[in-house]
Amino acid sequence: LSELLATLGEAELADVLYRYGEERQSRRIARAIRAALPITRTAALAEVIARAVGGKGPIHPATRSFQALRIWINRELDELEHALEVLPAVLAPGGRLGIIAFHSLEDRLVKQAFSRLSGDGAPVDLYGNPLTSPAFRLVERRARKGEDRDPNPRARSARLRVLERNS
């Protein structure tokens, strides 16, 4: 991680933090990280970010930044997009595809893909009836939230969406 941070320019790092972590203070954090280089420990990186952002709360101030770096390094959204293209095709009639998303970026991709597959936005006749029958349906219109069933604080951000292939 230290080598990667050293190779990124301030603007590129800020863009990564903003895009993948939805971090509103990405520019300030990127500036602080670049000024503190070399950073060799994750605890030191977390401290630099916390000092740049300030504030206390139930969630550590560096959480979104670490999320952004992890998603970017592992290309997680690209992998999810690929899975959303491939997986529906292998479902048997009546088969279900359930995806648990742990942050809004993942959930947004899943929601949009499932919506498209279930016929939202498909052409309709003058009476609002779909011209073609969609191959899939949403099992529930809204995502199930982690806190609905599980008191585990790590599950607080989890969202479950389920798509079913029509018979």
pLDDT digits (tens, 9 = 90+) for 37-61: 999 999 999 999 999 998 777 888 9
Per DSSP, the three-state class of 99 is: strand
pLDDT at 148: 53
DSSP H stretches of helix in the chain? 2-7, 10-21, 26-36, 42-53, 63-74, 76-86, 104-117
Average pLDDT of the segment spanning 80-102: 94
Mean pLDDT of 24-28: 95
Nearby residues of 115 by Cβ (< 8 Å), 6 or more positions away? 121, 138
The b/e string for 27-53 (b: 16+ C-beta within 10 A; e otherwise) is bbbbebbbebeebeeeeebbebbbebb
Q: Return d(Cα 62, Cα 58) in angstroms, integer.
A: 12
125 vs 111: CA distance, rounded Å: 25
Contact 16, 29 (CB under 8 A): no
Average pLDDT over residues 124-146: 81
| Structure tokens, 1 | 């991680």
Other C-beta atoms lying within 10 Å of the C-beta of residue 123: 8
